[in-house]
Structure 1
Amino acid sequence: MAAQVTTSATFEEDVLKADGPVLVDFWAEWCGPCRMVAPVLDQIQAENADKIKIVKLNVDENPDLAMKYQITSIPAMKVFSGGEVATTIIGAKPKQALEQDLAEFLA
């Protein structure tokens, strides 16, 4: 199950008004580490679909949101809970490290 795509137009509905935690993967086509982390996030989503929703946001196509959430390097992941940023993860990491970072949301 691949991560859903969100945009400036759908971000509020997809992320801020979502029930439960939502991980937003801020990425871009040209970013090699972003492409490395994408399948890992897809795996985490598939294994934890009932606990966390994962969406992708292309920073090149949605610069307003990248600026609003102060994305200065990618890949960057932010977990939103109740419309607020609950945690931030910067950089590509192996699955085990990402699961540790997300442990409170996957429990």
Structure 2
Amino acid sequence: MPTIAVTDASFEADVLKSDKPVLVDFWADWCGPCKMIGPSLEEISEEMAGELTIAKVDIMENTDVAAKFGVQSIPLMVLIKNGEVVAHKLGAAPKSQIKSWIESVI
């Protein structure tokens, strides 16, 4: 399953009320490290399709959600399970590290 784009309007339904864990990737088009991890997140999304949803939130277009989560630096990945934040990871990392981090939390 590919990553999904989430907006301020869809965040509650797509993320907080999801029946499986959701990794929220806070990013922006101008962010080089965000672009670096994008392909890895797409691959992880396909590999973990039954276990996890990966949602992308453009902080420039969705300021309410970004403010609610206190996003000050990107890329920021927040893992949400049953509507609650269970972990977060700041900065870019290789795919293997991102996937290991996800698997250790969910």
TM-score normalized with structure 1 length: 0.94
One-letter amino acid of the structure 1 residue matched with residue 28 of structure 2: A
Q: What 5-or-longer segments of structure 2 have no aligned partner?
A: none
| Shift, 1:104, TM fit | 3.0
Partner of 1:72: 72
Secondary structure of 1:96's match? helix
Matched, 1:43 2:77: no
Does the Cα contact within 8 Å between 2:87 and 2:105 map onto a contact in 1?
no
Aligned residues: 106
Partner of 1:22: 22
Instruction: Measure the CA separation in 2 of the matches of 1:103 and 1:24.
Output: 15
| Shift, 1:105, TM fit | 4.9
Does the Cα contact within 8 Å between 1:74 and 1:90 map onto a contact in 2?
yes
| Shift, 1:45, TM fit | 0.6
TM-score normalized with structure 2 length: 0.95
Partner of 1:56: 56
Could you report, residue by residue, the CA deviation over 1:8-64 in whole angstroms, capped at 9, with x for unpaired residues? 000000000000100000000100110110100000010010010001000000111
Instruction: Measure the CA separation in 1 of the matches of 2:69 and 2:4.
Output: 19
Secondary structure of 2:50's match? coil
Does the Cα contact within 8 Å between 1:21 and 1:105 map onto a contact in 2?
no
* Superposed CA RMSD: 1.1
Matched, 1:96 2:96: yes
Does the Cα contact within 8 Å between 1:3 and 1:41 map onto a contact in 2?
yes
Percent identical: 44
Secondary structure of 1:51's match? coil
Does the Cα contact within 8 Å between 1:25 and 1:54 map onto a contact in 2?
yes
Does the Cα contact within 8 Å between 1:52 and 1:105 map onto a contact in 2?
no
